[in-house]
């Protein structure tokens, strides 16, 4: 197994993704349970949480482990393992919930830290769920003053004020993100479809009445999704999607 790259700054951008596009959170109680585990793991490993967002089938965290790089793996193991046990017990499922080990990227300087925090908070907007400022399940509201578990002092200090932080729209020179994979694009499309359908999970989405499902398929196609992406999102065949779009 390849060793993880170490961050000289102590900051890491960390992502966990569900296996098989399973919705990680079926309702707000699940989201609260996950965040409680994040807070518990933070305190146990003595790290700082700089930003977070909960999406349908993945999460983003920015953490500061100072000079203890091993604490990142310990922290994520606590969160993912305990949340898997919680979710499986609550839903009656078994087996793995997360797709392999978590992904992490060192953050090398202040410019990358700012860009990555912005990227994390922009996830709901990029997935066409709602605007960054309106999304309930990210640390943006903590930056706006609703403090709970995020240490906002470093990033707000770099801007000088919340108003300057809030006005930031990203800089092409500063954006540091990986090339989006098919899995990530599918995850964003699933999140958008769940939001448009006003349901809580991928399972509920796939049980929609055919008329409502077909309406959503046409709407999502109009947003630019491919036929194959739509088929994967709804768990149906490509030919079925093609027939819906042709009528």
Of 17, 13, 18, which Cα lies nearest the Cα of 52?
A: 13
Instruction: Find where tokens 């909960």 sit.
Output: 54
Question: How many residues would you count in the chain?
Answer: 247
- pLDDT, one tens digit per residue, over 149-158 is 999 999 999 9
Cβ atoms of residues 62 and 50 within 8 Å = yes
The pTM of this model reads 0.70
Of 63, 182, 163, which Cα lies nearest the Cα of 116?
A: 63
- pLDDT, one tens digit per residue, over 63-80 is 998 877 778 889 999 999
Of 121, 90, 102, 119, which Cα lies nearest the Cα of 41?
A: 102
d(CA 166, CA 121): 11
Indicate where the chain has its CATH 3.30.70.1290 domain(s): 11-167
**For residue 61, what is the enclosing H or E element?**
strand 58-64
- pLDDT, one tens digit per residue, over 209-242 is 989 899 888 888 887 788 888 888 888 888 889 9
Q: Which fold has domain 11-167?
A: Alpha-Beta Plaits (3.30.70)
Q: Which two tokens stand for residue 66?
A: 């100072």
């Amino acid at each position: 197994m390849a060793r993880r790259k170490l961050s000289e700054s102590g900051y890491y951008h960390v992502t966990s993704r569900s296996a098989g596009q399973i919705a990680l959170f079926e309702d707000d109680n699940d989201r609260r349970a996950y965040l409680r585990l994040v807070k518990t793991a933070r305190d146990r490993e003595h790290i700082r949480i700089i930003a977070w967002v909960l999406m349908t089938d993945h999460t983003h965290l920015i953490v500061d482990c100072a000079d203890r790089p091993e604490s990142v793996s310990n922290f994520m193991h606590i969160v993912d393992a305990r949340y898997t046990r919680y979710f499986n017990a609550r839903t009656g499922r078994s087996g793995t919930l997360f797709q392999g080990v978590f992904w992490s990227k060192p953050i090398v300087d202040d410019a990358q830290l700012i860009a990555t925090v912005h990227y994390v908070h922009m996830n709901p907007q990029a997935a066409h769920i709602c605007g960054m400022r309106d999304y309930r399940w990210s640390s943006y509201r903590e930056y706006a003053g609703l403090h709970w578990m995020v240490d906002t002092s470093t990033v707000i200090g770099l801007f000088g004020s919340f108003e300057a932080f809030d006005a930031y729209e990203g800089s092409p020179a500063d954006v540091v993100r990986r090339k989006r994979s098919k899995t990530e694009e599918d995850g964003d499309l699933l999140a958008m479809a769940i939001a448009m359908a006003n349901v809580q999970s991928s399972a509920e989405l796939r049980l929609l009445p055919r008329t409502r499902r077909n309406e959503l398929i046409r709407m999502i196609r109009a947003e630019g999704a491919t036929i194959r992406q739509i088929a994967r999102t709804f768990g149906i065949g490509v030919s079925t999607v093609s027939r819906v779009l042709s009528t």
